[in-house]
Structure 1
Amino acid sequence: MDPNLLFWRSEGQSLLSRLQIWFNLLDPTVLLSSDAEIKNAHVLLGSGQKLNEKDGHAQTLSLSSVHADSGAVLPLIFRPPALMPISAPLVVASLLPHSSIKPALFWQFLLHSYSAGFNYANRNSSSEESNNTSLKQLLLIAGTVSYATCAGALPQIFINRLGVRSAPIQTLFRSILPIPLCAVLAFFNVYIVRSGESESGIQVFDPNGTPVGLSKAAGDKAVRETALSRAALFGTTAAVPNLLLLLLQRTRLFQRSALLAAPVRHISAALVLGMMIPVSFSLFPQLGTIEKDNVEEELQAAADGGPFYYHRGL
């Protein structure tokens, strides 16, 4: 079992402990570390030596920058600490009330392209013989991004194509509809991009940490949990700024100065995204468990009085 997974097995069993760990791991300054430093940190974490406070940075580097299945260093822009600085402007721009369809499609395309890349880079790759992306997977990612881009721009498409002028209906399309739409599309992005894990299965480990085989049931559970956590992330990020603006627009201050709406929307969206990322990552354990009765029959005999473990991905 990879050193990163061994860490998650001994730590982060509760939601609060995982939340505290992720707050430390999402420090953007770790993105400045070189690949050599990250590899050395991973080796140190797997050496079995007892780490002291000085080695805490090495632990952070390994957990935030190394893939737990392949042991390879993650691409810089797809490491967990990069999610906030890269996705924040994309999320803010995608939630703007655009005047035409083209900018809406453009920002939705960038957001879902990055999300698909992040989801794929942080998947469970234990059943894959190599890290090479197959043609089937490329087509799957392209289709996911295309569909999510068009679906994400639907509110703007409806407003333009139907010539909506009514303020209540515009509010429905611009402030209410994007909330469930963002959550559903985030779920869809993860579920489709990582569908191979449900089809081929992922590696499961017995209570001693020994790999026992591939399980499609564990793969489906891992993908579903990650998709739900991402839906919570983007759904909440869309809900809070939009609902906050709806409330503030009824106050005298906002009725007198409509220019306040834009900065409030931008700042609140970025703040909520920043707060929700560690919460989303912490909703389910990185090293998940599945009862032996829920896996394939050929694997059940390998369970030694306990559940199986699997790497959920991110």
Structure 2
Amino acid sequence: MDPNLLYWKSQGQSFFGRLRIWVNLLDPTSLLSSDAEIEKAHALLGTVEKVKEKDGPAPTLSLSSVHADSGAALPLVFRPPAFLPISAPLVVASFLPHSSVKPALFWQFLLQSYSAGFNYSNRNSSAEEGKKTSLRQLLLIAGTVSYATCAGALPQILINRLGVRNSSVRTFFRSILPIPLSAALAFFNVFTVRSDESESGIQVYDSNGNPVGLSKAAGEKAVRETALSRAALFGTTAALPNLLVLFTQRTRLFQRNSLLAAPLRHISVAIVLGLMIPVSFSLFPQLGTIRKEKVEEHLRAAVNEGQLYYHRGL
């Protein structure tokens, strides 16, 4: 089992323990570290006691920069510390009340493309064993981005196609509909981009960290948990700012100064997104567990423990 997973096993089994770790991991200054520094931190993480005594920053650098299946450094833009700086402007722009369909499609395309790349880079790749990305997977990612882009711009498309002029209906399309739509598309993006894990299975481990075999049941659980956490992230990010703007627009201050609504929306989206990222990443353990009865029969016979472990991905 990779040192990153061993660390999560010892330190990240409670929600608040994971939250504390993720708050540290999302520090964007770790993006400035070189590949040599990342490799050294990953090697040092193999001995947790040594890391604690001499190289405190090593766990943070390894966990935030190294893929737990391949042991290789993640692409810079798809590392967890880069998620907020890159996704924040895309999310803010995607939630804007656009005047036409083209800008809505453009920002949705950028957001869904980045989300698909992040989901794919941080997937569980234990069943791939160094295989290159297949044409089928590339087509699946392209199809996911295309569908999610059109669906994400659906509120603006409906407003333009139906010629909506009624203020209440426009408010519904621009402030209410994006809430469930954002959550559903985030779930869909993870579920489809990482569908290979459910079909091929992912590596499961016993309590000593020894690989037992590939499990489709564990793959389905890993993808489902990650998809739910991403739905919680984007659904909450859409809900709280929109509801806040709807509430404040009824106050005297905002009725007299209607231009205040736009900066309030932008700032609140960025703040909620920033707060929700570590929370959503912490909802489920990075080293997940699955009961022995839930896995395939040939895996049950290989272990005596009541549960097995798997890398959930991110």
Distance in 1 (CA, whole Å) between partners of 2:23 and 2:283 is: 13
Point out the more displaced range, 18-27 or 50-59.
Answer: 50-59
Letter in 2 for 1:173: F
Structure 1 residue matching 2:41: 3-state secondary structure: helix
1:107 counterpart residue number:
107
Distance in 2 (CA, whole Å) between partners of 1:280 and 1:25 is: 14
Structure 2 residue matching 1:204: 3-state secondary structure: strand
CA contact (8 A) 2:51 2:58 kept: no
2:84 counterpart residue number:
84
Letter in 2 for 1:116: A
1:149 counterpart residue number:
149
Identity across the alignment (%): 78
Letter in 1 for 2:208: N
Normalising by structure 2, what TM-score?
Answer: 0.99
Structure 1 residue matching 2:212: 3-state secondary structure: strand
**Residue 306 of structure 1, CA deviation:** 2.7
Pairs within 5 Å for 1:186-225: 186-225=186-225
Distance in 2 (CA, whole Å) between partners of 1:49 and 1:271 is: 36
Distance in 2 (CA, whole Å) between partners of 1:232 and 1:285 is: 15
Q: 1:235 to 1:155 in 2, by over 3 A?
A: same
The gaps in structure 1 that reach 5 residues or longer are none
Letter in 2 for 1:10: S
1:140 counterpart residue number:
140
Q: 1:59 to 1:256 in 2, by over 3 A?
A: same
Distance in 1 (CA, whole Å) between partners of 2:53 and 2:273 is: 30
Pairs within 5 Å for 1:299-310: 299-310=299-310
1:41 counterpart residue number:
41
CA contact (8 A) 1:197 1:219 kept: yes
**Aligned length, in residue pairs:** 314
1:167 counterpart residue number:
167
Distance in 2 (CA, whole Å) between partners of 1:54 and 1:210 is: 28
**Residue 50 of structure 1, CA deviation:** 2.2
Q: 1:115 to 1:131 in 2, by over 3 A?
A: farther
Structure 2 residue matching 1:51: 3-state secondary structure: helix
The gaps in structure 2 that reach 5 residues or longer are none
Structure 2 residue matching 1:130: 3-state secondary structure: coil
2:249 counterpart residue number:
249
Q: 1:291 to 1:77 in 2, by over 3 A?
A: same
**Residue 101 of structure 1, CA deviation:** 0.1
Q: Deviations over 1:127-155 (max 9, x none)?
A: 00225211111000000000000000000
CA contact (8 A) 2:44 2:50 kept: no
Point out the more displaced range, 232-241 or 40-49.
Answer: 40-49
Distance in 2 (CA, whole Å) between partners of 1:103 and 1:35 is: 37
1:68 aligns with 2:68: yes
Structure 1 residue matching 2:56: 3-state secondary structure: helix
1:178 counterpart residue number:
178
**Residue 47 of structure 1, CA deviation:** 4.6
**Residue 24 of structure 1, CA deviation:** 0.5
**Residue 58 of structure 1, CA deviation:** 1.2
Normalising by structure 1, what TM-score?
Answer: 0.99
**Residue 260 of structure 1, CA deviation:** 0.3
CA contact (8 A) 1:207 1:304 kept: no
Q: Deviations over 1:58-98 (max 9, x none)?
A: 11110000000000000000000000000000000000000
Distance in 2 (CA, whole Å) between partners of 1:86 and 1:47 is: 33
Distance in 1 (CA, whole Å) between partners of 2:24 and 2:53 is: 14
CA contact (8 A) 1:207 1:306 kept: no
Letter in 1 for 2:24: N
**Residue 189 of structure 1, CA deviation:** 0.1
Letter in 2 for 1:71: G
CA contact (8 A) 1:112 1:148 kept: yes
